[in-house]
Amino acid sequence: MKVLLSAFECNPLLGSDPYVGWSWVSNMAKINQVYVLLRIDHKAYIDKYFLENTIDGYNNIHFIYIQSSQFFGKIVYRFNRQLAVVGQYFIWQRAAYKKAKKLHKLVKFDVVHVVSIADFRFPGYLWKLKLPFFFGPVGGAQETPKCLLNYIKGHEKNEKLRSIMNQCLILLPSYKKALAHADLIYCSNIETENVIKRHINKKEFYKIHKLTELGINDSYLNERKTLSHGNSKVVHVLISGRLIYRKGVELLIDSVSQLNTESPYIIDIYGDGEQRHMLEKKVKTYQLENRIVFHGNISFTEMQKQYEKADIYCLPSLRETTGTAVFEAMANKLPIIALKQNGVKDIVKNDCGILVDIKSKDQVVYDFSIALKMLIENESMRLDMGEKAFDKIRNSYTWSKRVSDMNEIYQELVIKYAKKI
């Protein structure tokens, strides 16, 4: 089949949304001709990657680079990242549709699928091609729990702007038209599913399905079959990501300040961002410099090595669609500690991690510290949860399974559409 993928973010050398986009492209190309709409900013990275690597299906990938708005991408970005992304993506989507419309006359695509950005607010305009149209998996409707709003102090305007944009964007006639024309809509979490259901006819609820935006390559899992984390003299707790308020690192530090254990441990924080100075200052205030270490940014490749060295992975995010790092950590046999919300609560169960209930700020901070204590002091529990985390990813969340299942659905809809003609 000839599959047109919209992957605004698509990059094999970056994490998060760009890597999600790349995973769809590289895996779908193993069994289909894939035409990829992506922003031109990723071209240099992709060219560099293919100078050093080869992948199955390389000849099946056709990159269609679309220029993104420099005004929003560079100028507006300095003042407000959220507004910049929205403006940049909207303009790009219009340009992508115009390009796709011309290409369709020559190529004759069979299926259209919007895979990145994985955000429910941006279905775009490719549904106008009148082909089987897939949207998602998408998230983005999750909100910071009210009892944890203290951790977003100083950023209330950003959260308010996000909320306003969410409400306004989904009221646009083009948004509702896109949902109406979508054959299938995949949601990464229940919060997003509930929002989308409010904007489509009840008779169309059948086309909404739960599906995480993430997966792991079989080759990645095969390399880690024999990975072992036992016999750690010092337990290493890993956190990764941008040091911004919604990632909840401040909450984690508050929890570590209440952690009472004789077992040696280190909290390794990888990433950088606007909160780093404040967070480092808080660590000093608590006199935790010998317990919490800030390592700054490292490459995607280097990050993979840190998973292998760690013993526990923490995701203290105040809101998160699911979290790419959670999947990578589980694939590296690490037990997970996270808040019981959003996409992660559908992935991490009691057998492979600890999810902290959300009732009050003090309760969350205390229970997070108890979860840390349990896993730091109990090696057998860590190892057992880690193995079960690995098994869960291997059995249910590989890209090979994801693409195979999706391809069957593609084929069914292509046949269905052909009968209509």
| Burial class (CB within 10 angstroms; exposed 0-12, middle 13-18, buried 19+) of 156 | exposed
User: Is 3.40.50.300 the CATH number for 223-396?
Assistant: no
- Whole-number percent of the chain with pLDDT over 70: 96
Peptide bond into 66 cis (omega under 30): no
3 state DSSP class of 64:
strand
Residues 58, 36 contacting (CB under 8 angstroms): no
How far is Cα 209 from Cα 280, in angstroms, rounded to an integer? 42
CB 310 within 8 A of CB 320: no
pLDDT at 254: 98
Tens of pLDDT, residues 160-209: 777 777 777 777 888 889 999 999 999 998 889 998 998 888 899 999 99
Q: Which helix (H) or strand (E) holds 365?
A: helix 361-377
**Statement: residue 365 has pLDDT above 70:** yes
Residues 7-12, mean pLDDT to the nearest whole number: 95
Binning pLDDT at 50, 70 and 90, where does residue 101 land?
Answer: very high
Helix spans in 109-217 (H):
156-169, 173-181, 190-197
Encode pLDDT of 281-295 as tens digits.
Answer: 999 999 999 999 999
Q: pLDDT, tens digit, for every residue of 200-257?
A: 888 999 999 988 888 898 888 988 988 888 777 899 999 999 999 999 999 999 999 9
d(CA 247, CA 244): 6
Q: Which residue ranges make up each domain of the chain? A: 2-139+170-215+398-420, 223-396
Task: Name the DSSP class of 37.
Answer: E
Mind giving me the DSSP string for 377-393?
Answer: H-HHHHHHHHHHHHHHH
- Using pLDDT thresholds of 50, 70 and 90, give the confidence band for residue 330: very high
pLDDT score of 154 more than 90: no
Question: What kind of fold does domain 2-139+170-215+398-420 have according to CATH?
Answer: Rossmann fold (3.40.50)
- Fold agreement between 2-139+170-215+398-420 and 223-396: yes
End-to-end CA distance of the chain: 18
pLDDT in tens, 291-308: 999 999 998 889 989 999
**Which amino acid, residue 396?**
S
